[in-house]
Structure 1
Amino acid sequence: MAAPSSVDLSLALVMEPTVATQWLAILPVALCLTAGAGLMMVRHAIHRHPPVAIATLVLLVIIDLLLVVQVAQHGPVTMMMGRWLPPFGIAFTVDLTGALFALSAAIVALAGAIYATVDINGSGRRYGFYPFLLVLMAGVSGAFLTGDVFNLYVWFEVLLISSFGLLILGSEREQIDGAVKYAILNLIATTLFLITVGYLYAIFGTLNMADIARKAEGLRGTAPMMTLAALFVLAFGMKAAAFPVNFWLPASYHTPRLVVSALFAGLLTKVGVYALLRIMVTLFPVEREELSFVIAVLAAFTMVLGALGALAQSDLRRMLGFVVISGIGYLLAGVAIGAVGSLSAALFYALHSIVLMTALYFVAGEARQLGGSYSLVALGGLWRTAPAFAAVSLALFFAASGLPPFSGFWPKALLVKASIDIGAWWLAASILVAGFVTTIAFGRVFLLAYWRPAGETAPTPESAGIAWVRLGPLLVLSLLVVWFGLFPERLLVLTQTAAEGLIDPTAYLNSVFPAGGTP
C-alpha cells in the first residue's frame, strides 16, 4: 500500500500557537454572550441578575483597558477564528480606534447597569433587562472589534435585536409607538447594509477588511466603487441618525426607561459612526474624498438642525435626543475633512459624547426624581433643592455646549481649525453656530429648571433626595468629562495615533497578513 501523501496545513491554517494577547480581541464578545446566556437560564432568579451583570461589566472594562494598553504599545491585534488563514477565516482585528470605542462603551454600560438597580423594577428585570444589556454589549463590542464586513453586519443585528427588547420593557403605549418608529428605520438601514455587503462581495470576492483595503486600489478603475461607497454612507448615515434620515431618534429615545435612553444615546449611534470611519477612511479613502463635500453638507445640516430642534423642545428627554443628533454632525464633519487633525477631533468627540450623553440622560432622570417631571414648564428650583446636583449638571451643560475648559471644547476647536485649513469657512461657521445654539438650549434648561423658583403647584418629587446608587454613576461619568476637558493631552495623543492608523492602515494590514503577501 502506498504511503499517504502528507498535507501541508500551513497553506490553509495558522500554524503559530495563539498567544494570550490575541484572546483579548474576542474575550469582550465571548464574555458578554456567555454571561447573557447564563442570566437567561436563571431568568426566574432575578435577584441574581444585577450582581452578575455588574461583575461581568467590571471584568469587561478591565479586558478592554488591557486591550487599549496592548494596542497602544504594540500595535493592532488579530485573532483568526478556526485558525484559518486570512481572508478565509473570520478575523477579529483590533486597532486603537476600535479598542478606545470598546473601552468607552464598557464604562457607560457599567454605569448603566448600576443605575438600573433603582431605575428598573422587578417586572423589567423579569422580562430580561440585564440579559438584553449584556447581549447589547456583545453586539456593540463585536462591531468595534471585528475585522470582517459581514460580521460587522451580524453584530449590528445582535445589538439591534437586543435594543428592541430594551426599548419595549414595560409594554406601555408610548414605548410601543417609539419602538415601531425605531424598528422600521433601523430595519431599512440594516437591509440596505446587507445589500451593500452582498454588492461588496460580488466586487471584491472577500469580506475581510484588510483584504478589501489591499485590493481596492487595483479595482478602482474597473469596479463601481463610488456606488458602493455612497450606499455605505446612506446605510451608516441612517444608523447614526444623520440628516435627513434622523427623525426616528427623537421619536423613540424618550419612550423607554431612563437608563435605556441613556445607553442608547451613548452607544448606538456611535456604532454607526465607527462603521463609517472604518469603511470610508480605511477601505475607501479615494471615494471618501470624492464624497467629502456631500458628507460635509450632511454634517452641517445635522449639527445645526439638531441644535435648533433641541432649542425648540420643552421636554428634557426629547431635547437630549436632538442633542445626540447634533453631535453626529460634528463626527461627520471630521470624516468629511479626512485629515489627521479632523479625524483625531472626531474620535475625541465620539469618546467624549459616549460618556457625556449617558451622563446627561442620568441628569434628566435625577431632575425628574427631584421635580417630578421632565417638562421644563413644570420643573423649577432645582438649584435650591439640590445645589451639588445643579453644579454637576451645569458642568455637563458646559461640556455639551463646547465651552472651555470642558471636554466638548477641544474637539470642536480642532474641527473649526481643520475646516479653516481646507478653506471650508462655511463648515467652520456651521460648527460655531451649532455650538452657540446648543449653549442657548442648555442655558434655557438651566434657567427654567434650576434657577427659576419652583411654582406653588410644582409636582411632588418622587423621592426625598437623590439615591446614592444613581448619583454614583452620574458622578463618575461627570468626573471623566471634566478630566477629558482639564487634561486632554493624553487622550489627544491617543486619538491622533488612532487617526493616523485609520489613514495609513499599514499596521492594521500587517496584523492580518504578517508576511504582507496574498495567502
Structure 2
Amino acid sequence: MATSTPTTDLPQAMIETVVPASDWVIVLPIALALMGAAGLMMFRRSNGTPLIGSVIVVLAIIACEIALLVEVLANGPVSMTMGRWLPPFGISLTADIFGASFALAAALVTLIVLFYAELDRADADGRDAFHPMVLLLLAGVTGAFLTGDLFNLYVWFEVMLIASFGLIVQGNRPLQLDGAVKYGFLNFLATTFFLMSLGLLYGLLGTLNMSDIMRVSSTADPAAMAGVAALFLLAFGMKAAAFPVNAWLPASYHTPPAAISALFAGLLTKVGAYAMLRALVVVLPASRDMLEPVLACIAIGTLLIAPLGAIAETNLRRAIGFVVIGGIGAVMVGLAMPSLNGVAGSGLYIFHAILTMTALYMVAGLIEKTTGQSDTRYMGGLYAANAPLSILFILLVLASAGVPPFLGFWPKLLLLEAGLDQGVTGAAPGWVGTAMVLALLINAVLTLIAGTRLWAHVFWRSGPEGQGSENGSVDLKPFEKRGQLALGATTLLVAGIVVAGLWPGPLMEAISAGAADIIDPARYVEATALAGDEL
C-alpha cells in the first residue's frame, strides 16, 4: 500500500508520497511491456531477436506479477499513484486478488502463444512488428486488470484496440480486412459508449477514481446513476461479446492467424467481462441492483444462444467463437447473482477461460495446419493420423462444457450453488436463481454437444462429408519443426489446465478470498487511502 509522509504545507493532493519498493511490482509489468514493445520495434528486422526479446520481457513480467500476487494474498490490495497527485486527483494503479491473478494468467498465455506463433511465421516475417504488437496488447490488458481509475481503464482499452488492429490485419488477406472492419466498427462503438458514460459519471460525481466513486455515489440521483450503469453495461457487453451484441466475434476471430485468434479469445473478451464485474458489482452496486433483471436476461440469452450457434456452424474457428461467447454468459451469471459464490464463480470462470479459450484456438490452428482446411465438412481422419491432437481437443471440449473434474467444472459449480442459494433464500427477483441454474445446465449440455460434434467430424470420421467419408480421402500434412514447437506449447498449456482442474483447492481458495474483496471493497478503498465514513 502506498503511504504518505507530509513534508510541506502543500495541499493534500500535492503531498509527497513514500512508496515501498515492494509496491513497484504493480507498475513494472506495464512499464516492461511498453518499453519492450518500443525496443523490439527497433530490432524487428533482426532474425530471432524479436522472439528472444519478447520472451525475456514476458518472463520478467510474469516474475513481477507472481510477486504482486503473493503480496496481495499476504497483505491485501496494493495501490500506487502516479506522480505526486494523490487520489482521487491522480491516476492510481490498484491490484486486488482478481486483478493480479487475471494479469498473471494473461502473461502466461502470452508467453505460450509467442512460441506457438512460430507455426505460421517464416524467417522473412520479422519486419511485420508482430512481437511489439503482442507486447503492446499485453500492456493494455495488464493495465486494464490493474487500474484503479475508470478513465485510465478507457485509456488501456484504447491501447488494446490499437494493438489488436495491428495484429488482426497481419497476413494481408482479404478475409482479414473483412474481419477487421467488423471488429473495428463494433469496438469503436463500444469505446464511444464507454467515453459517454465516463463524461456523464464525472458530471454527476466529479471523480473517476473507483474508490472515490464508491464513497460518493450515494449522493447522486439514483436514476441518473442507473443510466450511467446501463451505458457501462452496453459498452462492456459489446467488448465482452455478450448477447445480443456478440455477432462481431465469430465474424472476425477466425480471420487472422490462429496465434492471434488465440490471444484475442483468451484476453480481449475477458477484459470486457472483468470490466463489467468491476464497474457494476464493485463501483456501482446500487445501480446494478436496479439492472438485475436485465443482467439476468442477458446472461440467460448468452448461455443459450451461443452453443446453438456453435452447433450450427461448420467453420471450426467460428464455432469455437460461439463457445467463447457462451463462457461470457457464465461470467454474467455472477453479475446477476453477486453473492460470494456467484462472484467467485465469475472470477474463476474468467481465469479458466483465459487459459482454455486460448488453448482451443491453438488446437484449432494445428488442425487447420494439418488438414489444410478451415471448414469441418472437408476434414476427417485425424484420430488415426494424430492421436495427441485428438486428445488435446477433447480435453478442452470437456473443460469448456464444465464436465468434472476439468477446470471449467469448478466455476460452474460455484455458480450453480449461488443459483440454488438464491432460490432457497427467496432473494428478489425470485425467478433469477432458478432460471440461472437451468440456463447453466442447458449450456453445459449444448456446449458438450457442439464440441463432441466438432470432434467427431474432425477426428472420428475417416474423410470429408459425403457418401465416401469412410474412405478417408483427406490429404493430411505432417508437422514440421515449427509445428512440433507449436504442438509442444499447446500441450504444455492443456496440461496446466488439466492439473488446475484436478487440484483446484488453492485456486478456489484464492478466488474466494478475491470475491470477498469484490463484495466488500473496504480493503480496496483503504489501499488507496480514501477510506471514509461514506463507504
- TM-score w.r.t. length of structure 2: 0.93
Other-structure match for 1:475: 491
Separation in 2, partners of 1:165, 1:124: 14
Relative to structure 1, is the Cα distance of residues 367 and 428 closer, same or farther in structure 2, using a 3 angstrom cutoff? Answer: same
- 2:434 corresponds to which residue? 425
CA contact (8 A) 2:282 2:519 kept: yes
Deviates more, 1:461-470 or 1:377-386: 461-470
CA separation in 1, counterparts of 2:439 and 2:411?
14
- Partners of 2:244 and 2:451 in 1: CA distance: 24
Structure 1 residue 124, shift from structure 2 partner: 4.2
Q: CA RMSD in A?
A: 1.7
Q: Deviations over 1:465-503 (max 9, x none)?
A: 883311222122111211221111111111111111011
Query: Deviation of residue 440 (structure 1)?
Result: 0.6
Matched residue, 1:485: 501
1:102 shift after superposition = 0.3
Shift of 1:46: 4.4
* 1:370 and 1:465 in contact (8 A); partners too: no
**Residue number in structure 2 paired with 1:260:** 260
Of residues 192-201 and 39-48 in structure 1, the stretch that sits farther from structure 2 once superposed is 39-48
CA contact (8 A) 2:211 2:530 kept: no
Verify the 8 A CA contact 2:15 2:86 in the aligned structure 1.
Answer: yes
Per mean C-alpha deviation after superposition, the further-off stretch among 304-313 and 223-232 is 223-232
What residue in structure 1 maps to residue 225 of structure 2? 225
Q: Tell me which amino acid in the other structure corresponds to 2:435.
A: W
Looking at structure 1, the residues matched to 401 and 379 of structure 2 have their Cα atoms a distance apart, in angstroms, of: 21
Q: Deviations over 1:315-351 (max 9, x none)?
A: 1111111111111000011111111101101111110
What is the correspondence of 1:281-292 to structure 2 with a 5 Å cutoff?
Answer: 281-292=281-292
Judge conservation of contact 1:21–1:77 (CA < 8 Å) in 2. no
Code of the aligned partner of 1:171: N
- Specify the code of the residue in structure 2 equivalent to 1:231: L
- The residue correspondences of 1:150-189 to structure 2 (distance < 5 A) are 150-189=151-190
Is the 2:112–2:489 contact (alpha carbons within 8 Å) kept by the matching residues of 1? Answer: yes
Match 1:445 to one of 450, 454, 465: 454
SS at match of 1:82: coil
1:83-132 alpha-carbon deviations (Å, 9 max, x no partner): 22211111111111110110010011111111112323345431211010
Contact 2:119/2:482 (8 A) holds in 1:
no
Kindly report structure 1 stretches of 4+ aligned residues shifted beyond 4 Å.
514-518
Q: Bigger shift: 147-156 or 59-68?
A: 59-68
1:385-396 to 2 correspondence within 5 Å? 385-396=385-396
Alignment CA distance shift 1:86-1:209 (3 Å): same
SS of structure 2 residue aligned to 1:224:
helix
Q: 5+ unaligned residues in a row in structure 1: which ranges?
A: 1-5
Q: Tell me, what secondary structure is at the counterpart of 2:397?
A: helix
Which whole-Å CA distance do the structure 2 matches of 1:409 and 1:233 have between them? 27
- Code of the residue aligned with 1:75 in structure 2: it is G
Structure 1 partner of 2:529: 513
Deviation at 1:22, TM superposition (A): 1.5
Q: How many residues align?
A: 512
Q: Specify the code of the residue in structure 2 equivalent to 1:417.
A: E
Secondary structure of the 2:319 match is: helix
2:141 corresponds to = 140
> Of the candidates 422, 437, 444, which is equivalent to residue 435 of structure 1?
444
- CA distance in 1 between counterparts of 2:360 and 2:88 reads 42
CA distance 1:97–1:456, change in 2 (3 Å)? closer
Partner of 1:27: 28
Cα offset, 1:362, TM superposition: 1.0
Q: Is the 8 Å Cα contact of residues 333 and 415 (structure 1) preserved in structure 2?
A: yes
CA contact (8 A) 1:46 1:126 kept: no
| Residues 370 and 466 in structure 1, CA contact (< 8 A), matched pair in contact too | no
- Aligned position for 1:357: 357
1:286-336 CA-partner distances (Å, limit 9, x unpaired): 111121111111011111111000011111111111111111000011111
The answer on 1:458 being equivalent to 2:467 is no
Aligned-pair CA distance for 1:62: 1.2
Paired residue secondary structure (1:92): strand
Amino acid at match of 2:446: V
1:510 Cα deviation after fit: 0.5
- Aligned-partner residue type, residue 189 of structure 2: I
Equivalent runs, 1:161-310 vs 2, <5 Å: 161-220=162-221, 224-310=224-310
Give the deviation of 1:207 after TM superposition: 1.1
Preserved contact between residue 151 and residue 198 of structure 2 (Cα < 8 Å): yes
Q: Percent identity?
A: 44
- The separation in 2 between residues aligned to 1:380 and 1:204, in whole angstroms, is 59
Q: Name the SS of the counterpart of 1:83 in structure 2.
A: coil
How many angstroms apart in 2 are the aligned matches of 1:459 and 1:253? 26
> CA contact under 8 A between 2:522 and 2:531: conserved in structure 1?
no
In 2, Cα distance between equivalents of 1:338 and 1:14: 37
How many Å separate the matches in 2 of 1:35 and 1:245? 34
Q: Provide the residue aligned with 2:519 in structure 1.
A: 503
Q: Which amino acid aligns with 1:430?
A: A
Task: Name the aligned partner's letter for residue 192 of structure 2.
Answer: T
Aligned-residue offset at 1:464: 5.7
Residue in 2 that maps onto 1:410: 410
- The alpha carbon displacement at 1:377 in A equals 1.6
Q: Please tell me the residue identity of whatever aligns with 1:98.
A: G
Letter of the 2:485 partner, please give it.
V
Distance, in Å, in 1 between the alignment partners of 2:196 and 2:267 is: 24
- What amino acid does structure 1 have at the position aligned with 2:151? F
User: Residues 205 and 314 from structure 1, CA distance in 2 versus in 1: closer, same or farther, beyond 3 angstroms?
Assistant: same
Q: Tell me the distance in 2 between the aligned counterparts of 1:168 and 1:458.
A: 30
Query: Conserved in 2, the CA contact under 8 Å of 1:265 and 1:324?
Result: yes
- Aligned partner letter, 1:472: G
Provide closer, same or farther for how the CA distance between residues 515 and 308 of structure 1 changes in structure 2, counting only shifts above 3 A. closer
* 1:420-477 Cα shifts (integer Å, max 9, x gaps): 2223212211111111011011111121211222444313416368833112221221
Q: Distance in 2 between matches of 1:376 and 1:132?
A: 31
Question: Structure 1 residues 173 and 17, CA, compared in 2 at 3 Å: closer, same or farther?
Answer: same
Q: Secondary structure at the match of 2:18?
A: coil
Q: Which amino acid aligns with 1:385?
A: A
1:158/1:118 CA distance change after superposition, 3 Å: same
In the superposition, the TM-score normalised over structure 1's length comes to 0.95
Q: Distance in 1 between matches of 2:413 and 2:57?
A: 37
Q: Is the 8 A contact 2:341 2:418 kept in 1?
A: yes
Give 1:261 shift.
Answer: 0.2
Secondary structure of the residue that 1:422 maps to in structure 2? helix
Which position in structure 1 is the counterpart of 2:76?
A: 75
Q: 2: CA distance between counterparts of 1:145 and 1:515? A: 19
Q: Which residue of 2 aligns with 1:371?
A: 371
| Matched position secondary structure for 1:384 | helix
